[in-house]
Structures are given as structure tokens and as C-alpha cells.
Structure 1
Amino acid sequence: MKKYAVIGSGPTSIYLLKHIFDYIGILKKEIHSISIFEKCDILGMGMPYNPHTTDLYNLSNISSEELPELDISFANWLKKQPKSKLNAWGIDKEKISKKEVYNRLALGQYFQSQYQTIIKKFSNSGIIIKEFPKTQIIDIQYNRTTETATLIAHKNLEFTCDKVIIATGHVWNEEDHPAAGYYGSPWPIKKVFPKPNTFHNFTVGTLGASLSAFDVVSSLARRHGEFKETNNGALIFESFKGAEKFKIVMHSENGWLPHLQYEQEKPIREIYRHLNREAVFNALDAAGFLRIETFFHKFCRKALAVAFKKDGMPTMEKKVLEGDCSFSDFVEDMTEKHEFENAFEGMRMEMEKSKQSVQHNKPIHWKEVTDDLMYALNFHAELMPAEDHLYFHKKIMPFLMNVIAAMPIPSGNLLLALYDAGKIEMISGHAEVLETKNDPYTKVTVSNGDAQEILKYDMFIDCRGQQPINLKNYPFQSLVKDGFVTSSQIKFESTTKAKQLMGSDKSHTIVKKKNNFYYNFDGIAIDSGYSIMDSHGEAIHNIHDISFTHITGLRPYSYGLQACEATSGILVSVWVKSIENNTEINANMENITEIYKEDINL
């Protein structure tokens, strides 16, 4: 009987515990106890949904029907809450819907209740649950001989266990310089609020114009003015007296805003919805790689053509079926259709389509299918060579995070109201923060083609979201020092491409081993079952890492609550297979995809 430890108690851990309990009949023979370590005083919420971190005006960006279900759905749980609670969250009990998006504080309370429900279920299961709130694990030491891990917390506390699952989620260690008005992240968001009885009566800048930037926009706007609905149903913004000069300028390299919420035919993603395991492995080239263009030609084009036909887009239906249509062609075409000279006016145009889609239950099939296909590719990404990973990060991810991303309609309405009031602006171009420590303001260089200018802000907030980690900022440095955690290295198929990059600014990220070249991506090396990989390329099956910021090298599109559920489900299925077959964990890609095949709801 083994002692397990879980670091973190947010959604990934909650879904992990759910999957463990789903297999309680098998796993209770293996697991003696599970110790859950949470650095916060609240267990079962996670950073984005915690009242210490977020704000009433930050929306969750996911509807109830998109949430992988726990004991009860989010919408049904809300319906059971007292009116006083719902009023505090600004929720009308009579209008609760599985399609609606609610604020993060409400979702955090839901997650905590589901966590507590799961913990209660374990009470008579034979597996002991131990909870450690306000206990931050600051290091992990692994003993290869005894195959045990020692978790080290503050105040020299140590815990020894047989297996560790790292599920730490978001960590914001970026440095702030309040004297210069610079904040390395918006979190906890209260730190950027004006002091009581004062306003930010000046222009606030944000680096990034994605959903994180909108959290800042929403929270600050409501503290500097009021949104009102006119007689014809339009939303307008009026500044409070003394806050007339308050304004927000968002910096986005491409000048894009995330696109708006759309109706989906099947809101829960499935890995093998549009392809199957056998076809993927038959698509590998002679060197054993899944090339991204091969993936597009064999799996995407037909599925997208069907989607475009459903959406009444015959030109795109025909184009994606043409023999010379590449992934780049598809991305460029659909980006061009959704790229606007003025992002806010473009959002106004998109708003009508979005409302038609959501309010009249009309799915936008091509967006949903694209998201499905990229979700499937993500869970096979270790089959791609380094050059295709680089292409995916450079070309595909910006498209996915802007055109396929779904900002809730209420958020879009607020942005347009601020724009119409002259309270928000977008500046495109590459923005870079200059040294701020000795200045009473933040200086930002903006480069756009040959033009360059320097702007000054009394407050400037980096809203690009969680950045991937590298070995230097991996939180458990003993594992790095002892060679149990290594960089995520992905092999090039073409030595010519690798040599070309060796002469560029990326040269420091390329290593040569024997006759092969590898690219060091951000994130750590893991096998397909989320075990860490040591410096000899061997998996340490006693330590699993399912924190997305740690594994982004091999899982570039692994994000969101559905991926939390899928990743933890895959991990537990790996354990169950090992126990059922009475074998060591075998987590190579071919074995793991058997799990995808058997449980297509992952």
C-alpha cells in the first residue's frame, strides 16, 4: 500500500480525485493514503477562482455545458443555491442556464463544493485523505534507491511519499515595480485597484489584449464608472466624477481582440472525434514523425469541409478540399476573414453573428471542428518533429487564441461600451517594457515596421497570461539539480533546418546528440503518461507532472478545464492499466493512445 501526494487542490486535482474514486475498487488495493498540499488557506478552488486572487467582475469564460461534469453540473448547482448567494454574485435564479457564462467567484464556490463532496466520498472508501492547507511545497527530493519522494515545505516540514502528482496550476512570480506603476501580472487583481476614495485618473496600459487583459479592463472600469442600459437595450459607460481621465490602452502585436462566444454542437471535446488511433499511426512518415501538413491533409480537410458546408460557406468548403490547400492557407484565409483594421469595430460586426449563434442555437461548426482537431493534435504532439512544433507555436497558436478563442458576449458588450465612450484603445506593434526601477512611470517601446515610439504610463500591467516555465524557474529545483527533471527536447526531422536555426537567435536552444539535432522547448520532459523524464531519458514513474505551465513543450494546446479533466483521466487510466495487468507502467505513445481509444470521452 502506497502513500500518494498531490501538490495543489484546484480543478486539475479535483478531476484527478474524481477519476481515482471512479476506479476505487481497483486503486484502494494500491493506495493507502492521499495527502493534498495547498499553499492557500482555501482548498478546492484554484487560483483563477479564488476570492484572494480574482474579482466579482471577472468572468469564467466557460459555460456550464462546457464544464466536464462532477457530482452535479454547475448550472444545476447554482439553481440549488440560496437567493442571497446568487444576488451577491449578480445571478438571477430565474435565468440560470447551462449556456450562460458566470463569474469566477461563483465557479470557485462550485469547485470547492465538488471538492468537498469528493473528499466525503473517500471517507468510507478505504483510502485515507489528508489535507494540508497553507502548506506550500518548495522542493522535492527523490531517492532512486527507495523510490520515494520527500516533499519539503516551509518551516523545514518534510513529508515522504511513494508517488507525487504535481498539479500546481497558475503561479505568478513576476516582479512588480509599484513605484513605477509596473505590474508583472494582474494577480492578485486587487493590487491594481485604486486606493479607497481615489481613482486612476490617467491612462492605464496593458501588455496583451486577450482574456487576461479583459479581466483588468472589467475590474478597473467598474471602479471608475458605471455601465448603464439605454431604453433601446444598448450598453453605455459613464465615468464617475473625478475619474474623467481614466482610460485603458491595450497593446497587441497583431492588433487583435479575442473573438466572441459561439454556439457548439458538442461542447465537450473528444480526442478521437474526427480521427482514430489506427489512422494516426498509419500517417507517420518513414522516420516515425507525424508531420503537421500530413495531419491537416489526412484529418482536417474533410472534417472542415463538412463543417463549412453546415455553415453555408461553399467557397471555403471547396477550397479546403483542393489538393494544394495547406494548413497555412486555411489559417491565413480564416484569419483574413476575421482580421479588422479596427478591432473594436470588427467586434461590433462579430457581435451580431455571435448573438445569432448563441441565442438561436446555431453552431459555428468550422470553429468548433478546428478546436476539436487541434485538441486531438495536442494529445499526439510528441509525434511531431521540432520544426512542426515551431511552426505550430508561431502560426497556429496565435490563430487559435484569437480567432477560435471565445470571449463571452457580455464581455464584448462592455468593451464596446468603453470604446464608444472613448475609454479604451488598441495599439498594435511589438511592445517592450524598458527598465522601470528608477522612474516614476513605466516606459514602453512600440515597434511597428520601421516606426518606433516610446510611451509613458503611470500604470502598466503585463496581461499576457502565464508564461511557460523553463528549468531555471521550475519550482522544485532539487529534481533539476539531481537530473530527475530535464528540458523538453524535441527531435528535428531535418538536419538542414536545425543547422539553419543554429545560425539564428534560436541557436542556444538547439543541441546535438550523436547525429541528431533537438530543440529545447519551454517546459519539462515528460512521457506520454505524464511521468517526469530524467537526464538518461528514463521515466520516473513515482513523480507525475500535470501542471500545464510545466508540460507546455509537449502539450502546446493543453489548456482549460476540459484538458484538466482529460489529462488527469489519462494519468489515472495509466495506473489502472498497470495494476490490472500486474506490470510496470508502460507509457509510450502507442500504449497511451489505446487509452484514448477505449475512453473517447477523455
Structure 2
Amino acid sequence: MQRIAIIGTGPTGLYTLAALIDGQQSLAITLYEAGDQAGVGMPYDEHANHRAMLANIASIEIPPLTCTYLEWLREQSAGFLAGYGVAKETLHDRQFLPRVLLGHYFRAQFLALVTKATERNHRVTVFEGCRVTDLQAGDNALRLWTNRHAEPAHFDRVVIATGHVWPSTAEGGPGYFPSPWSGLIGTAIPAGAVGVLGTSLSGIDAAMAVAVQHGCFQEQSDAPDSTLRFELNGDSADLCITLMSRSGLLPEADFYCPIPHQPLRIATPESITREIDAGAEGLLDRVFTLMAREIRDADPRWSDGIALEEQNADTFADAYFANRAERNPFRWAQRNLLEVERNKRDRHTVPWRYALLRLHEVVEDIAPHLNEHDRERFNTGLRRVFIDNYAAVPPESIRRVLALRAAGVIDVLAMGQAYQMDIGDHGTVIKTAEGEHRFQVFIDARGQKALDLTDLPFPRLRDQLLAHSDELPPVGDNYTLMVPEIGGHRIALAALPFLMHDRPFVQGIAVCAEIGATIGGSIHRAAQRRRPWLAGYDDEH
């Protein structure tokens, strides 16, 4: 049997396992999970997330493992779902639910996959509460060390699927949290000035985790303008949460569109590939021309409204955000929410939004081919537009923000481009051109940052790679490290933070599924090459 190790059992690890056990050849698969339970995934772990935090993906978008998310939900008891604020009779495939429910789903899928693997004559070993501490490529095998085993284990292939990386403890003071997953959940937050750096879903979720310690949300069916109200506890009158970012813009609500996505007509994968093949010089501008043609073809009226014909790769972002930046963020959010809810009722797709959503998937391919100057232009321009579009948040999250605003609990701060952040023992101070803002509690919720070779948590492998370059080695189409000198093709780097340099939009469960399927298929093909007589037998029969 080929010996395969998977480090990490979040979504990427699960989809890799699913792909591996679907092959014809029996494999010996060992899964290592640092957490208490394999299959849950840190973003969905009940110990790291509050039940008020919502997942921004619905069942219709989640590739099934042994069953769809919706099918699993419908198998659960009404009482279990009610514990998470979900009514069983209201379940549907476009619903945004508490992210910890996804953790329960993935755990159940993991257990089902292990059973399925055994039935298909694979040998599966699972180590929970077991952290892999080192990895080394040898001539004949890969050696893997853990905190629970005295001797290294030997494998033919290893999949690094360690997922997101967050600071484990707060640094800088008792009221500072370097991420929402660094001790915030379970910590009593005083009713005072709370700053949240980041206005994306992570920032909103951090605000919700604080808010529900000091009040509760109540449905108001008789209210003419809003169906949600936040009731603040009597002893929490001093609570003031400030969401902040450079622009001070709130994200928009997730919008209705056809799934699976319809193909693009102009900026197709083939046309993007042709531009890449034409060379790095002028690549960004050539691709923007294709983008603009695609958007205009989809929505001429919106294109005229932002003078698309006059825009370029550097000005498009400002034109895109201009109307929103001039409005009060909460009024804009209210209007956007009403529009989104109306469109979902009517099953109406806003053409320019849908065009941008599909465009980010093909435009991402140019990232590793841009020269340094154009990469900077891309990061400060088009990248912001695409992230704003695909990172739209659940409408319920916007409803909650508006309810907090109506209760006088939340505000938004535009920090501008030149701001300073001073973290001290007695709080955090944000200095902007408009003045100083002091916070008793401060949460950095800017999300996952791209990681480089120095962040690799395996010292021996890191040293082997540093012997050839001080940068992360290229990753092949099958996600294996392209370092022939150490047999790097045997190691698949499937941890999203390490892929973000060349894939700036790599995120989400659908991407995890694509990565897992690619790695699994690659391992099966390699196994077949090792047994040509078996491949011949299959061809003949």
C-alpha cells in the first residue's frame, strides 16, 4: 500500500480524503489533527466560534462529501437545530446558517468517510489531539514527527492541509486580540469602547461576539421598517463598538445569482491564457480591457453610470466605490439590504455584480505572471473590487449591524491611508488625520495574511527548502512542491495561506474541494504509474 499522510482535517483534508478513497488502489492513509476532533475545521469549531457567527456559504455552494449539507441538516432533530436558532421547517439550499453547524456537518462527513474507506479496503489511521512538529524529505521516504510519538513515521506522500493560521495568544496587552480566534470567544468583554479593525464578515462576527454578551437580538414582526431589534442590557449602556477600515465602507449583502455559474462570454479562461502567453509587459492592462468588455456586454446601463469607457486598471476601483463612499455607510447598507432581499424574492440577478463574481475566478490566473509594478497596481486597485464583490456577507449579518446601529451600539470609522496604531497595557489608540480614538478592548479582524517560507511550521523541511531559495518554491498544478532536489513532488502544499501569493483569491470551501480533488487524482495517477501491469489490465478489461 502507498502510505499517505494528511496533516489537518479541515475541509481541505476532508475533500482530499474523499478523493483518495474513491480510487481503485488500496491506500494506507494517516490523518493528523491538532484539535480534539478530526473533521471539524477551525473556522467551524464550536470552541473557537460563537453561535452568533454566520457562515457566508450556503448548501447550494458546498460540494457534497457523502451527502449535501442540506440533506444532513434535514436529518437533524428540530430541537438540535433550534439550539442554533434554526427552524427545521425553514431550511433551504440558499440559507446562511451559524458556522458551527458546518463544523457538525463536517465532523459527521468525516466519520462517514472513514467508514466508507474501510469498506473499500483502505487502511485509515486517525490521530486526534496530535500536532505534527516536523517533516523531512528523504531519499526513499518522507519522515514525519509529532508531539505524541517518540520516533518519526515514514510516508510515500504527505499532504499539508493545515488551513488558516492565527496567533494562539493575545500579544500586546490584556485587552488586545490579534484575531477574533485568539481568545475572544469565552472572554468577558467589558461594556466600554471596543475597536474592531476590519469591516468584513470577520469584523462583523467579532462585533457580534461582543454584542451578545451585553444584549440580545429580537425579531419584531410588527415593526414597519425592520424585523430585527437589539435590546441592550441595563448595565451595558457604555458599550460602543467601532468597526474600522481605511475606507470606512461596510460590505454589501450577498446577492442572488445562478449556481453553478454561467460561462463568461469575452474574458474566458482561454482569452486570459492567451494574454498570459503574450508576456508580462502590459498584461494587467490587456486583461482589464477584456474585463471592461465583459462587464459592458453584461450591463451597459451600469457601465455608462460609472463611465466605464473612461476607466482603466488604476481608476476602476475608485469609480466602483465612489457612490458608496459618498453615502452614510448605514444608510447604504439599509438600501442595499432591501435591494438584495427583493432580488432574492424575485430571483433577479444584477448583471454587473454577477459578471464581477465570475471574473475574479479567471483574472486570478494572471497574478503569478504580473511584473512587480503591475502586481502593486493590481493589489491596490482591481483586487479591492473583486474582494468586495465575492466577500459579500449574509444579509442577516447586515440586519444585525443595522439593529446594533439603531440601538446606538455600533459605529464605523474611516481611518484613511495614513493611520497609526499604538497597542499598550491600558488599551489601544488609533491615530488618524481627524484625531485620536481610544479603545479599552481592541480586536484585529483583518483576516488571514499570506504566509511565506519562514512561516512553514516544519523546521527540517523549511531548512531543506531554504537551501535552494529563500522564497516558497513554486507549486505545481497538482499542488506539489516543485523541488526535485528533495523529491518535493511527494509533498502537496494545500494550506491556503501559503498559496495566497500566487492565488490572491484562494478561499472558501469550494476551493478546498477543488484542491482535494486535484491532489487525490494526482496521487492515484502516480500509483497507477508505479504498477503498469495494473493499468494494462484495466485497459483490457
Question: 1:56: which partner in 2?
Answer: 51
Deviations 1:536-571 (A, max 9, x none): 898711111111111111111111111111222223
Q: CA deviation at 1:171?
A: 2.1
The equivalent residue for 2:451 is 469
Letter in 1 for 2:214: H
Q: Distance in 1 between matches of 2:51 and 2:178?
A: 22
Deviation at 1:190, TM superposition (A): 4.8
Structure 2 residue matching 1:254: 3-state secondary structure: coil
* Greater RCO, CA 8 A, separation 6+: 2
Displacement of 1:435? 4.3
Counterparts of 1:32 and 1:217, CA distance in 2? 45
Paired residue for 2:105, among 107, 110, 130?
A: 110
For residue 358 of structure 1, the aligned residue among 344, 348, 353 is 344
Q: Distance in 1 between matches of 2:448 and 2:262?
A: 23
User: Partner residue of 1:540?
Assistant: 488
Deviation sequence 1:159-204 (CA, Å, 0-9, x none): 211111000112212641485411111115554631xxxx622111
TM-score, scaled to structure 1: 0.81
Consecutive unaligned residues of structure 1, counting only runs of 5 or more, are 490-522, 585-602
The CA deviation string for residues 88-137 of structure 1, in whole angstroms up to 9 with x for no partner, is: 11111111011110001111111111222222111122321111100011
Which residue in 2 is equivalent to 1:302? 293
For the pair 1:65 / 2:60, whether they are aligned, the reply is yes
Q: Indicate yes or no: 2:422 matched with 1:434.
A: yes
User: Does residue 208 of structure 1 match 2:157?
Assistant: no
Q: Name the aligned partner's letter for residue 363 of structure 1.
A: T
Summarize the Cα distance change of 1:275–1:130 in structure 2 as closer, same or farther, 3 Å threshold. Answer: farther
- Give the AA of the match of 1:526: V
Aligned in 2, Cα 1:337/1:21: closer, same or farther, shift over 3 Å? farther
The root-mean-square deviation of aligned C-alpha atoms, in Å, is 2.9
Whether the 8 Å CA contact 2:69–2:105 is kept in 1: the answer is yes
Q: Distance in 2 between matches of 1:169 and 1:348?
A: 34
Structural mapping, 1:65-464, within 5 Å = 65-143=60-138, 145-154=139-148, 156-173=150-167, 175-177=169-171, 179-188=173-182, 190-191=184-185, 193-194=187-188, 200-230=190-220, 231-232=222-223, 234=226, 235-267=228-260, 278-284=270-276, 286-287=278-279, 291-298=283-290, 300-309=291-300, 313=302, 315=304, 320=308, 322=309, 325-379=311-365, 381-429=367-415, 430-436=418-424, 439=425, 441-447=426-432, 451=433, 453-464=435-446
Aligned equivalents of 1:539, 1:102: Cα separation in 2:
43
Which runs of 5 or more residues in structure 2 are unaligned? 533-541
The secondary structure found in structure 2 opposite 1:218 is helix
Q: Does 1:481 align with 2:463?
A: yes
User: How far apart, CA to CA, are the structure 2 residues paired with 1:273 and 1:222?
Assistant: 46
- Residue 443 (structure 1) shift: 2.7
**CA separation in 2, counterparts of 1:89 and 1:347?**
26
Instruction: Answer yes or no: is the 8 Å Cα contact 1:177–1:183 preserved in 2.
Output: yes
Q: CA deviation at 1:471?
A: 2.7
- Give the % identical residues: 24
Give the partner amino acid of 2:85: G
**Partners in 2 of 1:465 and 1:375 — Cα distance?**
20
**For residue 599 of structure 1, what is the aligned residue in structure 2?**
none
From the two aligned structures, give the one with the greater strand fraction.
Answer: 1
How many aligned residue pairs are there? 527
Contact kept, 8 Å, 1:289 with 1:383, in 2: the verdict is no
Check 1:539–1:371 CA distance in 2 against 1; reply closer, same or farther (3 A cut).
Answer: farther
Deviation at 1:273, TM superposition (A): 8.0
Alpha-carbon distance between aligned partners in 2 of 1:33 and 1:305, rounded to the nearest angstrom: 52
Deviations 1:206-231 (A, max 9, x none): 11121111111112212201222331
CA change 1:364–1:44 in 2 (3 A) is same
Residue of structure 2 in register with 1:526 after alignment:
475
Aligned mates of 1:575, 1:280 — CA distance in 2: 29
Q: Secondary structure at the match of 1:566?
A: helix
1:137-161 Cα deviation digits (max 9, x unpaired)? 1211221x22423333356452211
Q: 1:482 to 1:295 in 2, by over 3 A?
A: same
Does the 8 A contact of 1:10 with 1:46 survive in 2? Answer: yes
Change (3 A) 1:84 1:174: closer
